[in-house]
Amino acid sequence: MKSKVGLAAAVLIAFPLTGVAQGQPPLSCVKDIVYSQEFLAKYPRAGAACNEVVVANGEKWARFNAEVKSRQGTHLTLSFIDSEGRSVSTIVTFEFAPDATLTLADKKEVKPVAALEEGDKVVMWVPESRMGFYAQPGAAQSKHFAVVSDDSAKQR
């Protein structure tokens, strides 16, 4: 009986807290994130490609959608796209570990990078304070997605 009362009390206490969290306005790619100078120097069109901002482990993370252009061996080439699905003229090739995964942008399904095909749309995350591409917000280090090459020099 005590456990049922404790559970009911916990639910009643937690219920108002979920409403407070859900009542928060979403963070904006325009107003609520400041990319590192290093990141902006390399990817000046990042603002146009940002699709969402979330907070994970106390840090802001920007979500970028990208379309798979090719996958050869352990190299994945992505073209970053805006929230309308248009290319923002940034193509980056990453090297990935065999066990690396990415989330599909439209299905929210996690898929092994080795199984991605040309045209698949995926999600990448970048922390506000440092340079790096990650599969999920809140990651401590990115051992799976090292930049091999990009077209950032062409963008200037």
User: Tens digit of pLDDT for each residue in 86-134?
Assistant: 888 789 999 999 889 999 998 888 999 999 999 999 999 999 888 889 9
Q: With bands split at pLDDT 50, 70 and 90, how would you rate the model's confidence at 143?
A: low
**What's the pTM value of the predicted model, to 2 decimals?**
0.77
User: Tens digit of pLDDT for each residue in 61-73?
Assistant: 999 999 999 999 9
pLDDT for the residue 22: 58
What are the residue ranges spanned by the domains of the chain? 27-155
pLDDT for the residue 139: 78
Enter the tokens of residue 134: 């990650």
Q: Which of 152, 48, 65 is nearest to 102 (CA)?
A: 65
pLDDT for the residue 94: 95
pLDDT for the residue 93: 95
User: Tens digit of pLDDT for each residue in 13-38?
Assistant: 443 443 345 567 889 998 999 988 88
**Which residues neighbour 39 within 8 Å (Cβ) at sequence distance 6 or greater?**
46, 126, 130, 131
